[in-house]
Structure 1
Amino acid sequence: MITTYIVRNGLLTTYDGPPGAILAADEVLWHDMQAPTLEEEHQLETLLGVEIPTREEMEEIEVSSRLYTEGGAFFLTASVVANAHSEAPQLAPVTFILSGNRLVTVRYHAPRSFATFRQRAAKADLGIRSGTTLLIAIFETVTDRLADILEAAARRHDDISRDVFVSGARSPEQRNQLSQILERIGQAEDMNAKIKESLATLDRVIGFFSLAPDAKKGAADRRSRIKTVARDLRSLADYANAQTQKITFLLDATLGMVNIEQNGIIKIFSVAAVVFLPPTLIASIYGMNFRFMPELDWQLGYPFALGLQVLSAVLPYLYFKRKGWL
């Protein structure tokens, strides 16, 4: 599907004219391709005179396959996060093709940043005066969206931290929740890894794009916006690295809590062994089938054996408890 937008009077509006129409020199067109068909790809390839990369080519990890120029057009591919607040967040490539005042985006998923950008650009003037400034404005929105995702992820990490370090004795339900907390930590690490990869690819894209003649020799505010985006991406990368360390700490702490709970269960069995082992020894002695036993014909033999068993259970327990071993 191809949706075309045009910038007029500083605002982004849907363009319903023919794709190959001759526009004014200062008019900016944005062709947004979401899961395009082969026919749609050929249509834009004929219009721009460049080859639209396939989905397989977009997913290649080599920098030379993601950042290059061809036929006077810039090809920039970055990984963008989508469905960040769902149970199955996506990280998929988006290719930006800049040819003069025409921008083409090729994607096979639906990041919320694109919808957010369309809404903002339709209501407010974002300083879009060329294809370069249009691309910069999209990068700014994608960066803002990543910052929002990171903030939401950090709040979830705080919730996990409170659940891990719950004060007081744990109820059986809270002990069972430790396995669920481990699952949440795994999801948090997966989300954070996707954010870090997206930030890294965007940082490479901005670095490559800043060397473009139009961006390098453009107006001062344009260069300033590029530098601001690059600085924001690096600060977000530092924040994501800090969250990685926190997730690692939470994982270690949760595993430590699991070990403590398991040690508590083992401690119960140890106490049972301390209490019942001496009486079991006494019962074993008096359960032997020898003909001559001094207490066999004694009238108080049975109460004496029972009392000895109780005493042998209580005394070791009190001694161990006084030593702090239980």
Structure 2
Amino acid sequence: MITAYRSRGARLERMDLTQDHLRDALWIDLDCPTGAEEDAVEATLGIDIPTHEDMQEIEVSSRIYRENGVLFLTAQVVATLDARETEIGPVTFVVCPDRLVTVHYHHPGSLVHFAEWAARHDTALATGVVTVLGLLESVVDRLADILEGEARKLDLLSKAVFAAHRPAGKGETLGAVLQRIGRAEDLNGKVGESLNTIQRVVGYLSVSSEHPDQHLLTEGERPLARTLAQDIRSLREEAATQSAKIRFLLDATLGVINIRQSDVIKIFSVVAFVFLPPTLIASIYGMNFVHMPELKWLWGYPMAVGLMVVSALVPWLIFRWKKWL
């Protein structure tokens, strides 16, 4: 699908492609484009749109390069499907001098949010570079929101882990806790990967190693890029902190599981030890020897039962005294 926007009155306005032409667009967004849609944009702008396979290349030289005066910048962007599911996919920013083209095959909400925000607020969107900086800022803001939400979830998760270790804790909840830890680690990894790729893109825009004597950003645009780079660094530090906390919670959860399993094994061991002496006494009097004087005693049976009770009670009292139970 092709969605085009133009700058009108310092605000971003969505174009009606049945009446307007793509040449007048400031930002062209290709959402899961078909071959015909790619051909239409390529014919209008005279550029080569990367294919989905090209966008998935992991080499830096395949993700960030210049071709015929046009910049091709690819970053991994997180898209939230629902409250529990997220996906990450490449978004290619084709930066022309007078416009921007974005290509993606998933649906990042940050792109839509930027379009809606720029339609309500006055912006200085006039070139492709300024537009891509605005989009990257929207993506980074979305990643910051995700990390803030995950920080609150990790606090609740920490309480759940250590509540499960209390005597009244429910052992059956630990499986759900492990699932939540797995989801947190998956999301944190996706956020970290997205921040790494965006940092490379912003660094390339700030100083192009291919053309050290030609700066891509003007003096007025450099402060925005520096602020964006600082935000990315702070978010990467936060993501690293959360990753360490997730590993700690995983170790703590496995430790609680081991403790609960040890408690169960300890109970079985104590029960087996308590009933071992009575079993021995019962085995002795179950032997079929002819000469066993106790078999003819009037109080032989009560004596044997009492002996078994005492032999079971004494070990149990010892365990209680030692606080092993």
TM over 0.5: yes
Q: Please show how residues 121-270 of structure 1 align to structure 2 within 5 Å.
A: 121-166=118-163, 168-171=166-169, 174-211=170-207, 216=215, 218-270=217-269
Gaps of 5+ in 1: none
**What is the RMSD of the two structures over their aligned residues, measured on CA atoms?**
1.7
Residue of 8, 32, 36 corresponding to 1:35: 32
1:6 paired residue number = 6
Q: Distance in 2 between matches of 1:126 and 1:9?
A: 9
Q: Alpha carbons of 1:298 and 1:95: their partners in 2 closer, same or farther (altered >3 Å)?
A: same
Q: Alpha carbons of 1:164 and 1:215: their partners in 2 closer, same or farther (altered >3 Å)?
A: farther
2:316 paired residue number = 317
Q: Distance in 1 between matches of 2:32 and 2:214?
A: 29
CA contact (8 A) 1:80 1:92 kept: yes
Q: TM-score, normalised by structure 2?
A: 0.94
Q: Distance in 2 between matches of 1:133 and 1:111?
A: 20
SS of structure 1 residue aligned to 2:66:
strand
Q: Please show how residues 95-134 of structure 1 align to structure 2 within 5 Å.
A: 95-134=92-131
Q: Distance in 2 between matches of 1:144 and 1:66?
A: 22
Instruction: Give the drift of 1:323.
Output: 2.4
Instruction: Give the drift of 1:43.
Output: 1.2
SS of structure 2 residue aligned to 1:216:
coil
Larger mean Cα displacement after TM superposition, 256-265 or 214-223? 214-223
User: How far does the alpha carbon of each residue in 1:24-48 deviate from its partner, in whole angstroms, 9 at most, with x for none?
Assistant: xxxx610000000101111111222
Q: Distance in 2 between matches of 1:215 and 1:206?
A: 16
* Count of residue pairs brought into register by the alignment: 319
Gaps of 5+ in 2: none
User: How far does the alpha carbon of each residue in 1:33-79 deviate from its partner, in whole angstroms, 9 at most, with x for none?
Assistant: 00001011111112222211000110110111100011110000000
1:305 paired residue number = 304
Residue 286 (structure 1) aligned with residue 285 (structure 2): yes
Residue 70 (structure 1) aligned with residue 67 (structure 2): yes
Larger mean Cα displacement after TM superposition, 133-142 or 41-50? 41-50
Runs of 4+ in 1 over 6 A off after TM superposition: none
User: How far does the alpha carbon of each residue in 1:126-158 deviate from its partner, in whole angstroms, 9 at most, with x for none?
Assistant: 322322111111111111000001111111111
Q: Alpha carbons of 1:282 and 1:7: their partners in 2 closer, same or farther (altered >3 Å)?
A: same
Q: Alpha carbons of 1:110 and 1:248: their partners in 2 closer, same or farther (altered >3 Å)?
A: same
Q: Distance in 2 between matches of 1:122 and 1:53?
A: 28
Q: Distance in 2 between matches of 1:188 and 1:126?
A: 36
CA contact (8 A) 1:92 1:108 kept: yes
User: How far does the alpha carbon of each residue in 1:268-299 deviate from its partner, in whole angstroms, 9 at most, with x for none?
Assistant: 10221122111011100111110110201000
Q: TM-score, normalised by structure 1?
A: 0.93
Taking only the aligned residue pairs, the percentage that are identical comes to: 49
CA contact (8 A) 2:129 2:217 kept: no
